[in-house]
Chain A
Amino acid sequence: MQIDLQERDDVLLRRSAKGDEDAFAELYRRHHAPIYRFALRMTGNRWAAEEIVQEVFMTLVREPRKYDPQRGALAAFLYGVARNRVMKHLERLPRELSLENADGTPRSQAFTTDPVTPAHWAELRERREQVRSAVLELPVEFREAIVLCELEEMSYEEAARTLDCPVGTIRSRLHRGRALLLAKLEMLRQVPKRANAGH
């Protein structure tokens, strides 16, 4: 099934390179959402994510031959391009926290929309914002692992293919990322000390 999909992506890309607009539109519809989510979760900025999506697909328009089907699926190639763009964006803006939620609505607006349990919801919402900020503050390599495996819910193998690294690297990055997240959210404070380190 995956091979079929890859072949079809190949065919579409070939047609697109020859000027078939429908083929390009189909490729966009097929791949734009995960690329956008990845960019959004990595940057925390809707505008930046849209810019990144545009640049990724512009690569397909301008240089379709950059993709080599022998080296993997088109989705992995697009993720690779998106990663590079995300890195460039993060280099330009080392830390940019968006004033918007991931869905584009302003944060302040979100607090007024749930009438059921306002206090509990507000607390939950605040905690979630802390988590979001903590994720965005992670070093990029740990953030990638957390975004792909925890938010995008990819398997380790899929994440390894996407990031073009061994599964063991993904595991260790996840481990470090989780530890950093727990530390940032001060979730380690309440943890009682180990009775015995070698326990």
Chain B
Amino acid sequence: MTCEEFAIAGLELRASADNGPLQQAAREHLRDCPHCAALHENWRALRDHLHALGVESRDAEPASRVEMRLLQEFRTKHRTVRTRRTAAVAVWALAAAAVLLGTVSWINWRRQEATTAARSHGLVKATGTAQSNPNPPSVTGPAAMELGDVVVAANSGDFAILPGSIPPSLGDATVVRVQMQRSALSALGLTVNEEHGADWIQVDLLVGDEGLPQAVRLPQSTD
């Protein structure tokens, strides 16, 4: 072993070290070289000092205020995050509630509009004599279209009140089935598609006790 090799590997030599070939060569070199022997001796002394320094600070710990400060920071950070999350959830919940409220209001408004329109034309449920009608009315096809925006329920016995008529008292009303040309409906105040004005249709008229038609229904399509 040369002095350079010893400087690199030989300084690791310890009294209780193993007896590998490198260690043996280093020991032999130590015996023969006073320079490396002195160097090794100095290194051992220095290592003792280093070891003592290590031992001296082995139990060194930071002051407890460091941990307290860190925990405080930890709490602050996570409290802020939690607050932000809660605020975000609250904002989204409020937004959803506002949208829901708006939707419900709109639907109600639409429904109210439809009800108002229906009321303005009148929706009369015919009972009593009307129930004796053997042909339950069905409102479909072009005939239904002729009634414009008058709402006629698909249930049997539903009459659309004629414009300008006062809802009759049901006990005195009579249902009269008549055949008429479609254009004749215009005389009752209903809108008629002029293209089919010459068609013959069958209608049920609800006639009041004064003999005037009050409401009309289409029991079946004549097309």
Query: What chain A residues lie within 8 Å of B2 (beta carbons)?
Result: 198-199
Residue A68 at the B interface, CB < 8 A?
no
A83 to B59, CA, bound (A): 20
Minimum CB–CB distance for A77 against chain B, Å: 17
| Complex contact B50–A146 (CB within 8 A) | yes
| Complex contact B71–A182 (CB within 8 A) | no
Residues 134-177 of chain A: 1 if any B CB is under 8 Å from the residue's CB, otherwise 0? 01000000000010001111000000000000000001000100
A185 to B52, CA, bound (A): 16
A33 to B75, CA, bound (A): 22
| Complex contact B54–A40 (CB within 8 A) | no
Minimum CB–CB distance for A113 against chain B, Å: 13
Minimum CB–CB distance for B110 against chain A, Å: 47
Tell me the nearest residue of chain A to B51, going by C-beta.
Answer: A150
Cβ-defined partner of B57 (8 Å) among A62, A102, A187, A199: A102
Which listed segment binds A: B37-45, B89-97, B129-137?
B37-45
Query: What chain A residues lie within 8 Å of B3 (beta carbons)?
Result: 194, 197, 199
Tell me the B58-74 residues at the A interface (CB within 8 Å): 58-63, 66-67, 69-71, 73-74
| Complex contact A53–B62 (CB within 8 A) | yes
Tell me the B136-173 residues at the A interface (CB within 8 Å): none
Query: What are 28 sample pairs from A and B whose C-beta atoms fall under 8 A apart?
Result: A32-B62, A32-B66, A32-B67, A37-B58, A37-B60, A40-B60, A54-B69, A54-B70, A58-B70, A61-B77, A103-B57, A103-B59, A128-B52, A131-B49, A146-B50, A150-B50, A151-B57, A178-B46, A182-B46, A185-B46, A187-B43, A187-B45, A188-B39, A191-B38, A191-B39, A194-B33, A199-B32, A199-B33
Residues 14-51 of chain A: 1 if any B CB is under 8 Å from the residue's CB, otherwise 0? 00100101001100100011001100110000000110
| Complex contact B42–A40 (CB within 8 A) | no
Binding site for A on B (CB under 8 A): 2-3, 7-8, 11, 32-35, 38-39, 42-43, 45-47, 49-54, 56-63, 66-67, 69-71, 73-75, 77-78, 81-82
A19 to B75, CA, bound (A): 8
Query: What chain B residues lie within 8 Å of A195 (beta carbons)?
Result: 33-35
| Complex contact B57–A19 (CB within 8 A) | no
Minimum CB–CB distance for A174 against chain B, Å: 9
Residue A79 at the B interface, CB < 8 A?
no
| Complex contact A19–B53 (CB within 8 A) | no
Cβ-defined partner of A135 (8 Å) among B51, B53, B61: B53
Cβ-defined partner of B82 (8 Å) among A19, A25, A49, A101: A19
Query: What chain B residues lie within 8 Å of A28 (beta carbons)?
Result: 67, 70
A residues contacting the other copy or chain, number (CB 8 A): 52
Query: What chain A residues lie within 8 Å of B49 (beta carbons)?
Result: 127-128, 131
Residue A132 at the B interface, CB < 8 A?
yes
Cβ-defined partner of A131 (8 Å) among B38, B50, B78: B50
Tell me the nearest residue of chain B to A156, going by C-beta.
Answer: B12
Interface of A is mostly: helix
| Complex contact B57–A178 (CB within 8 A) | no
The 7 closest A-B pairs by CB, nearest first: A102-B57, A151-B54, A19-B78, A187-B42, A191-B38, A131-B49, A150-B50
A199 to B50, CA, bound (A): 30
Minimum CB–CB distance for A191 against chain B, Å: 4
Residues 68-94 of chain A: 1 if any B CB is under 8 Å from the residue's CB, otherwise 0? 000000000000000000000000000
A61 to B46, CA, bound (A): 40
Query: What chain A residues lie within 8 Å of B59 (beta carbons)?
Result: 103
| Complex contact A25–B57 (CB within 8 A) | no
| Complex contact A21–B75 (CB within 8 A) | yes
A101 to B56, CA, bound (A): 9
| Complex contact A182–B43 (CB within 8 A) | yes
User: What would 7 more interface pairs be, CB under 8 Å, given A40-B57, A104-B60, A127-B49?
Assistant: A37-B57, A50-B62, A103-B57, A131-B50, A171-B8, A182-B43, A197-B3
